[in-house]
A and B are shown apart, each in its own frame.
Chain A
């Protein structure tokens, strides 16, 4: 009873704080401060049509490197937690038979989903999207494969090699920025190209391809770990 009333008090307190925040909120009319600088100079300084990408990968590129390493740490911890108990991946013989329609549909859909993911991260500097979104789409293709085609397995070795090399490539591009251009993760190590075309914005497409591969393989690795431990329990 005491616990419930404490929870109630806490939630009412939170709600009151939020209501006062909501009531005192006045919409902004114009951009101000640092975002004004980003919008005004993003086109000349970075050359990416998608200003969000310009911020994520150049102005705040270091944050994104940290974000990628958080995702890597998560995948590593999950691999450590789930992998200790058994050695190589065991293909369970008693996996339920999948339905013919699901299997055939998945075989048609999976290549297209991977293609869509690649399209999304290659065009990250021009359209809404980018490495993280494209990587998530690729991982969802593999989720479909795990559900619909349970006898297919993917090699963890290939996954970790792709993941390691794309992470290394990301850091190397950052260091190249120090050597060839103004600073760490500067995208002007390649020429900025024509604004709005696919070969523009310097190193941004390269970085986003690497991020997309890394995110895709990491999420796939997490899901395949979860799937293997489930097979083992059955």
Chain B
């Protein structure tokens, strides 16, 4: 492939991290590791979204110099994916905290962190 830039590299890393997260949620037995895999999945998605908004040879969307005030449109990267990822990170924090509290409650109930010990919903 010709012309590989930072956007392709970060996109590929995002996909790899996302796949790792998926693999972890499906195969791990320890509940804490499952929660960690969920956060990996989350991180991979965030990296992909930011990478898609990147434009080559352009700067951050913060107008902090007089030079940047003229012709801003052609000098900055896309701010919209970054704003969406900001929202997504905060919600990811909330979801992770909630999952960890569920793990805490499960552990208090049965004193086990192995998912196979919880058969109440299995048929």
Contact A40 B72, beta carbon cutoff 8 Å: yes
Contact A49 B64, beta carbon cutoff 8 Å: yes
Contacts of A146 in B (CB 8 A): none
Contacts of A7 in B (CB 8 A): 23, 26-27
- B51-71 vs A, CB cutoff 8 Å, 1 = contact: the mask equals 011111000111110000100
Contact A128 B62, beta carbon cutoff 8 Å: yes
A196 within 8 A of B: yes
In the complex, chain A residues 121-149 whose Cβ is within 8 Å of any chain B Cβ: 126-128, 130, 132, 136
- Find the A residue at minimum CB distance from B100: A226
Contacts of A40 in B (CB 8 A): 72-73
A22-B15, A196-B63 known; A132+B55 contact, CB < 8 A: no
9-residue interface stretch from A66-74, A104-112, A152-160, A185-193: A66-74
- A196-234 vs B, CB cutoff 8 Å, 1 = contact: the mask equals 100000000000000000010001001000100100010
- B62-97 vs A, CB cutoff 8 Å, 1 = contact: the mask equals 111000010011101011101100110111011101
Contacting residue for A63 out of B15, B23, B79, B87, CB 8 A: B87
Contacts of A19 in B (CB 8 A): 15
Contact A71 B101, beta carbon cutoff 8 Å: no
- A29-60 vs B, CB cutoff 8 Å, 1 = contact: the mask equals 11100111011100100000111101110001
B112 within 8 A of A: no
Chain B contact-residue range equals 35 or more
In the complex, chain B residues 22-42 whose Cβ is within 8 Å of any chain A Cβ: 22-23, 26-27
Contacting residue for A60 out of B53, B83, B90, CB 8 A: B83
Contacts of A10 in B (CB 8 A): 22, 26
A contact set with B: CB distance below 8 Å: 7, 10-11, 14-15, 18-19, 21-22, 25, 27-31, 34-36, 38-40, 43, 49-52, 54-56, 60, 63-64, 67, 70-71, 73-74, 77-78, 81-82, 126-128, 130, 132, 136, 195-196, 215, 219, 222, 226, 229, 233
Given A30-B74, A39-B72, A70-B94, 12 other A-B residues pairs in contact with their CB atoms under 8 A: A22-B11, A27-B8, A29-B56, A43-B63, A49-B64, A51-B76, A56-B83, A56-B86, A64-B87, A67-B87, A127-B62, A128-B62
